């Protein structure tokens, strides 16, 4: 087999997560990944599709998922066995900081002549420190659109051309970090290729299913993603994907949209390969009513059978809900009011009211959505313990109002890290945050702490780290009891969540004790590791509560084969 020009590696959050007694906590309860954050960025597929259209061969290896799926899988031995023109590692999400740099270290140790490039939001933000302090990193490609710059970098490396001309590239010139201008910031997403068949072809070519799966549970709950936008018109204070952060860190002054026609086409093409929900990233109303109208008209004409999951960044009324219902067979909605309290929501940068959210829920439930998910968060500016308790109480009232079991509120902490680059991180003091980490090095130190309390890179003026942990477990138990009382989850499921949450709380106390007394014995650690691993998957809710469909990957096999044959 020819050596790939680029091998893209997705790290686990912490490379030795299998050996350490970690209590990562409910950091990933609301997403498909486990706390190892094994989901690779959608950008892996757009980079690979773009490069392949230019004649390069790209391999994707989800190291995190391979480690989760086989205890015997040894990342170092595997990296040693690889051959490539270049290694690419994502440091998109900051929680991967230790894992990404450890993978880079392994790649460099075994292949000193193969360049290592990092990319993603966090790598972009920390490019200078990465190149100054981590010799295993040769390059950082900055920004939210690196498909074309990556092509330029591969060409420059293969042909021995100079690196000055590669847009968005940070590199070392005579040993010192140098940053080329962040000049490739396309104003539309229409040139992006999202090839939903890529993963299937790569599985067959490299005979590697676990290395290509987006996340561990994907076989049971396959989901696809369609990206409407890079950038955002909103300015939520904690978010590194906000309007201010995009401008400050990724050179983007305004969002880039996928045209409504191409977006609808993406959703329809996803269905050729995958029988499962398609999650549309970005509120389709962000680009204006005309955009949303065109998108829904296009979607209708394509008669999509897969469930389509849309996001609402602001409340929506009956007309829009009916319009969505008229365009697809099955749909669900996600909204993140973060809190029941309008003042706290305003401080977080979301100036809409709970009444507006309720109207949206009513409109979409009336229009026939499969489910309406509501995400609440702990760790917001001005949010107190009492306010979190208020959110849980409010949830009961909501359930009582919308009784039919299609409304799903979730609550989780802002964890493990406050986003570097977001407004709360940049203006921590002014917005009431106290940071425990600001550099890459600081975050690596936190990432390997024994429990999620010590991993948190912040606390707020209103909630200390201890209070965030306490409020989280109490809110989790409160919400679980409400769901049980309302018959939304079975008695057994409620009991499981309760046992795990109480267990995790106890475990936290035991580890706190060990940390407070300084040294733990090996016996202590072995015992803690055993219990911790059983408590560490989901904590305050069950992963299945997030599943959009009952489809499994096996239901998708005939359509994958059919689609591949049609495209030959
Ligand atoms: C969609 C989304 C998700 C999806 C992920 C979909 C996916 N597989 O990519 C879901 C909902 C699962 C998710 C989960 C999480 N997310 Co999120 N997410 C977003 C969101 C809304 C949009 C991201 C997006 O548009 N991506 C498209 C573009 C920009 O990225 P991309 O195509 O994947 O990659 C391009 C570049 O980033 C770069 N790149 C990326 N990787 C690499 C690697 C190499 C080698 C190179 C060269 C380039 C490169 O090139 C790519 C192609 O041009 C942003 C907010 C925002 N407005 O941006 C938050 C955001 C990225 N998420 C964030 C966070 C914190 C998380 C979680 C950690 C939250 C949690 N605790 O559960 C998890 C991590 C999940 C995991 N890995 O398992 C933060 C990241 C902040 C930070 N610096 O760490 C953001 C900024 C905001 C937020 N708080 O939600 N997320
Ligand atoms: S959290 Fe707010 S700023 Fe961030 S992507 Fe969502 S709407 Fe935009």
Band (pLDDT 50/70/90 cuts) for residue 167 is: very high
Assigned domain for 243 exists: yes
- pTM given for the model: 0.95
**235/245 Cα distance (integer angstroms):** 8
Mean pLDDT, residues 345-371? 97
List the helix and strand counts (H, then E) for the chain: 23, 17
pLDDT tops 60 at residue 557: no
Same domain assignment for residues 477 and 329:
yes
Assigned domain for 201 exists: no
Among 328, 316, 323, 250, residue whose Cα is nearest residue 293 = 323
**115/230 Cα distance (integer angstroms):** 28
Mean pLDDT, residues 376-395? 98
What pLDDT score was predicted for residue 200? 87
Mean pLDDT, residues 87-97? 98
| Contact criterion met (CB below 8 Å) for 476 and 508 | no
What pLDDT score was predicted for residue 534? 62
Return mean pLDDT, the chain. 92
Among 539, 385, 537, residue whose Cα is nearest residue 459 = 385
pLDDT in tens, 24-68: 888 888 888 999 999 999 999 999 999 999 999 999 999 999 999
pLDDT tops 70 at residue 541: no
Assigned domain for 164 exists: yes
**Distance between Cα 91 and ligand 1 center (Å):** 10
**Distance between Cα 48 and ligand 1 center (Å):** 17
Query: What's the gap between Cα 7 and its chain centre?
Result: 21
Question: Atom 12 of ligand 1 has which residue's CA nearest to it?
Answer: 31
pLDDT tops 50 at residue 568: no
What is the H or E stretch that residue 409 is in? strand 407-413
Backbone angles phi, psi at 354, to 5 degrees: -60, -35
Mean pLDDT, residues 8-35? 87
pLDDT in tens, 481-538: 999 998 888 999 999 999 989 988 888 888 887 777 766 666 666 677 766 666 555 5
Band (pLDDT 50/70/90 cuts) for residue 464 is: very high
Closest atom of ligand 1 to CA, residue 94: 84
Give the DSSP per-residue string, 430-480: HHTEEES--SHHHHHHHHTSSBHHHH--EEESS--HHHHHHHHHHHHHHHH
Same domain assignment for residues 379 and 440:
yes
Same domain assignment for residues 132 and 229:
no
What pLDDT score was predicted for residue 562? 57
Mean pLDDT, residues 161-169? 95
Half-sphere exposure (Cβ direction) of 402: Cα atoms closer than 13 Å: 25
Backbone angles phi, psi at 470, to 5 degrees: -60, -50
Torsion of CA 420, 426, 427, 433, to 10 degrees: 20
What pLDDT score was predicted for residue 504? 86
Q: Residue 181 has what DSSP assignment?
A: -
**435/51 Cα distance (integer angstroms):** 39
Same domain assignment for residues 52 and 167:
yes
What pLDDT score was predicted for residue 559? 59
**What order do you get walking across the sheet with 86-90 strand by strand?**
58-62, 6-10, 86-90, 116-119, 139-141, 169-173, 176-179
**30/36 Cα distance (integer angstroms):** 13
Indicate the SS3 state at residue 220. Answer: coil
Question: Atom 3 of ligand 2 has which residue's CA nearest to it?
Answer: 242
Residue that terminates a domain, selected from 179, 209, 239: 179
Domain count, the chain: 2
Indicate the SS3 state at residue 234. Answer: coil
**Distance between Cα 496 and ligand 1 center (Å):** 31
Question: Nearest bound ligand to CA 336?
Answer: 2
What pLDDT score was predicted for residue 278? 96
Assigned domain for 563 exists: no
**136/106 Cα distance (integer angstroms):** 8
pLDDT in tens, 367-383: 999 999 999 999 999 99
Same domain assignment for residues 336 and 421:
yes
What pLDDT score was predicted for residue 22? 66
Residues with CB under 6 Å of ligand 1 are 8, 27-28, 31, 33, 37, 39, 41-43, 46-47, 88-90, 92-95, 117-122, 141, 144-147, 150, 225, 227, 230, 232, 239-241, 281, 419-421
Among 317, 316, 267, residue whose Cα is nearest residue 296 = 267
Among 322, 354, 327, residue whose Cα is nearest residue 340 = 354
Assigned domain for 440 exists: yes
Q: Residue 286 has what DSSP assignment?
A: T
Name 226's Cβ contacts closer than 8 Å, sequence gap at least 6.
194, 258, 263, 266, 267, 270, 278, 279, 280, 281
| Contact criterion met (CB below 8 Å) for 245 and 176 | no
**302/312 Cα distance (integer angstroms):** 22
**405/369 Cα distance (integer angstroms):** 11
Band (pLDDT 50/70/90 cuts) for residue 19 is: confident
Same domain assignment for residues 230 and 152:
no
What pLDDT score was predicted for residue 253? 97
What pLDDT score was predicted for residue 503? 87
**132/244 Cα distance (integer angstroms):** 26
Mean pLDDT, residues 241-269? 98
Same domain assignment for residues 374 and 517:
yes
| Contact criterion met (CB below 8 Å) for 317 and 359 | yes
Q: DSSP E strands: which ranges in 156-202? A: 169-173, 176-179
Residues with CB under 6 Å of ligand 2 are 232, 234-236, 239, 241-242, 313
* Residue 532, domain CATH: 3.30.750.200
Assigned domain for 217 exists: no
Assigned domain for 133 exists: yes
Same domain assignment for residues 20 and 75:
yes
The total number of residues shown for the chain amounts to 568
Pocket mutation for ligand 1, best pick of 121, 230, 280 (most atoms within 8 Å of C-beta): 121
Question: Atom 5 of ligand 2 has which residue's CA nearest to it?
Answer: 241
Same domain assignment for residues 285 and 175:
no
**540/219 Cα distance (integer angstroms):** 23
Closest atom of ligand 2 to CA, residue 235: 3
The vertex-268 CA angle with 263 and 271, nearest 5°, equals 130
- Return the minimum-mean-pLDDT range out of 73-77, 163-167, 532-536, 549-553: 549-553
Question: Atom 68 of ligand 1 has which residue's CA nearest to it?
Answer: 93
**312/181 Cα distance (integer angstroms):** 34
Torsion of CA 448, 453, 458, 459, to 10 degrees: -170
- Three-state secondary structure of 22-47: CECCCCCCCCCCCCCCCCCCHHHHHH
pLDDT in tens, 304-326: 999 999 999 999 999 999 999 99
**213/289 Cα distance (integer angstroms):** 36
Q: Give the other-Cβ count within 10 Å of 192's Cβ.
A: 22
Domain that holds residue 17: 6-179
* Residue 80, domain CATH: 3.40.50.2300
Residue that terminates a domain, selected from 121, 155, 179: 179
Assigned domain for 206 exists: no
Same domain assignment for residues 105 and 25:
yes
Same domain assignment for residues 393 and 538:
yes
pLDDT tops 70 at residue 554: no
Same domain assignment for residues 278 and 415:
yes
Band (pLDDT 50/70/90 cuts) for residue 23 is: confident
pLDDT in tens, 408-417: 999 999 999 9
What pLDDT score was predicted for residue 403? 82
What pLDDT score was predicted for residue 437? 98
372-378 vs 139-141, strand pairing mode: unpaired
Pocket mutation for ligand 1, best pick of 86, 89, 93 (most atoms within 8 Å of C-beta): 93
**517/120 Cα distance (integer angstroms):** 39
Percent over 90 (pLDDT), the chain:
77
Torsion of CA 273, 335, 392, 450, to 10 degrees: 60
| Contact criterion met (CB below 8 Å) for 23 and 451 | yes
**307/302 Cα distance (integer angstroms):** 13
Q: Give the other-Cβ count within 10 Å of 318's Cβ.
A: 14
């Amino acid at each position: 087999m020819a050596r790939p020009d680029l091998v893209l590696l997705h790290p686990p959050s912490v490379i030795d997560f299998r050996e350490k007694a970690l209590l990562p906590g409910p950091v990933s309860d609301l997403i498909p990944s486990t706390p190892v954050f094994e989901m690779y960025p959608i950008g892996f597929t757009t980079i690979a599709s773009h490069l392949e259209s230019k004649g390069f061969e790209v391999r994707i290896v989800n190291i995190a998922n391979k480690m989760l799926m086989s205890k015997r899988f040894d990342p170092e031995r595997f990296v040693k066995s690889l051959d490539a023109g270049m290694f690419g590692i994502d440091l998109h999400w900051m929680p991967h900081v230790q894992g990404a740099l450890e993978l880079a270290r392994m790649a460099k140790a075994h292949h000193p002549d193969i360049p290592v490039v990092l990319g993603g939001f966090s790598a972009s933000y920390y490019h200078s420190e990465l190149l100054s302090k981590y010799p295993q990193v040769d390059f950082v490609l900055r920004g939210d659109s690196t498909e074309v710059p990556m092509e330029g970098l591969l060409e420059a490396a293969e042909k021995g051309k100079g690196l000055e001309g590669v847009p968005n590239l940070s590199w070392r010139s005579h040993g010192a970090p140098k940053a080329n201008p962040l000049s490739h910031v396309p104003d539309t997403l229409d040139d992006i290729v999202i090839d939903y068949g890529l993963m299937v072809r790569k599985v067959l070519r490299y005979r590697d299913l676990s290395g290509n799966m987006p996340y561990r549970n994907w076989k049971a709950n396959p989901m696809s993603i369609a990206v409407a936008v890079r950038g955002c018109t909103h300015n939520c204070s904690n978010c590194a994907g906000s309007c201010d952060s995009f401008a400050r860190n990724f050179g983007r002054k305004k969002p880039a949209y996928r045209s409504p026609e191409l977006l609808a086409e993406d959703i329809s093409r996803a269905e050729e390969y995958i029988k499962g929900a398609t999650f549309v990233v970005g509120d389709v109303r962000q680009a204006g009513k005309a955009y949303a109208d065109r998108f829904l008209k296009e979607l209708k004409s394509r008669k999509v059978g897969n469930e389509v999951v849309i996001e609402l960044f602001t409340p929506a009324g009956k007309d829009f809900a009916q319009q969505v219902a008229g365009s697809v067979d099955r749909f669900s909605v996600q909204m993140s009011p973060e809190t029941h309290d309008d003042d706290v929501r305003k401080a977080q940068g979301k100036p809409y009211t709970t009444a507006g959210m309720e109207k949206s829920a009513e409109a979409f439930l009336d229009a026939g959505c499969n489910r309406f998910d509501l995400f609440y968060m702990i760790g917001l500016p001005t949010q107190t313990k009492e306010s979190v308790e208020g959110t849980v109480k409010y949830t009961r009232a909501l359930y009582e109002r919308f009784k039919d079991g299609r409304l799903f509120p979730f609550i989780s902490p802002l964890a493990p890290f406050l986003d570097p680059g977001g407004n709360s991180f940049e203006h921590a003091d002014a917005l009431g945050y106290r940071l425990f980490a600001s550099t890459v090095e600081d975050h690596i130190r936190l990432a390997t702490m024994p429990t999620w309390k010590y991993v948190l890179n912040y606390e707020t003026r209103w909630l200390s780290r201890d209070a965030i942990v306490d409020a989280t477990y109490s809110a989790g138990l409160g919400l679980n009891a409400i769901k049980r009382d309302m018959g939304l989850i079975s008695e057994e499921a409620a009991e499981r969540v309760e046992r795990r949450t109480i267990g995790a709380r106890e475990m936290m106390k035991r580890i706190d004790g060990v940390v407070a007394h300084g040294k733990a014995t090996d016996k202590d650690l072995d015992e803690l590791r055993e219990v911790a691993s059983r408590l560490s998957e989901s904590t305050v809710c069950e992963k299945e509560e997030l599943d959009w469909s009952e489809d499994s990957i096996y239901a998708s096999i005939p359509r994958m084969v059919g689609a591949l044959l049609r495209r030959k």
